[in-house]
Amino acid sequence: MIRVAIDGPAGVGKSSTSKALAKYFGFAYLDTGAMYRACAWWCLHRGIDLDAASLDEQLVTETVGEFFTDGHFDISVDPDDARVFADGEDISDAIRSSEVSSHVSKVSGIVPVRHVLVAAQRALIMRESAVDSFSEGRGVVAEGRDITTVVAPDAEVRVLLTAREEVRQARRTGQAVGAGAVGSDDVAARDKADSKVTSFMTAADGVTTLDNSDLDFEQTLDVLIGMVEDAI
């Protein structure tokens, strides 16, 4: 089983390239950002005030813990149909809302919450897990902010995908480079908040940096395919 770990900031194209890479090799696909987003959605849904001046971190941690241990959470690892569920309800679109985007860093910034998520992610990418049975043991592409360093530092392929900030902002918003933050997902603000708890702007030892500022989607995918082929 080949594990491919891809980290990087918001707007670098991690999800689309990771999905295409998983599809190419018949691997499972795990979007760990979707898991953090699902937690933020669940907390908001439960009426927790994530804007509170003094956020009740213990309550958030307990609520997130229940989300996983009481079987409310489910995720599909099919790269053609990557979906997230809460109590059987498909929340894949809801977790991309501006409300969730603007609150997710508050949830992911709580260290005990990260411990819950890292454990859940490790369980998912282990042998004899959903990921393993989906790919019939071939492998998984897992993407996020701490996959190369914390979740799967022993992955066979470890990549930090980066691009210049103005390029990422433009990709996220579909606007021209230089247009600045448009809409409500300000990737620069989210990266700043996320950088306080995870290190995804510089590559850790043994992690290959791939700057795709001047590469298109196909070119980025080709480089990643080559890296996985070398590891097989």
Amino acid occupying residue 178? G
Q: Is 145 a residue that touches ligand C5P (CB under 6 A)? A: yes
Our CB check for ligand C5P shows the closer of 132 and 146 to be: 146
Min dist. Cβ of residue 175 to ligand C5P (A): 18
Our CB check for ligand C5P shows the closer of 7 and 132 to be: 7
- By CB under 6 A, name the one of 18, 25, 30, 33 that touches ligand C5P: 33
Q: Is 106 a residue that touches ligand C5P (CB under 6 A)? A: no
Min dist. Cβ of residue 101 to ligand C5P (A): 7
212: helix, coil or strand?
coil
Token code pair at residue 147: 């996959």
Q: Is 13 a residue that touches ligand C5P (CB under 6 A)? A: no
Question: What residues pair up with 140 in beta bridges, in sequence order?
Answer: 3, 28
The b-or-e profile of 57-69 (16+ CB within 10 A means b, else e) is eeebbebbbebbe
Using alpha carbons, select from 21, 31, 12 the residue that is nearest to residue 229.
Answer: 21
> What is the C-alpha separation between 110 and 127, in angstroms, rounded?
28
Q: Which residues would be at the binding site for ligand C5P (CB under 6 A)?
A: 10, 32-33, 36-37, 104-105, 108, 144-147, 190, 194, 198
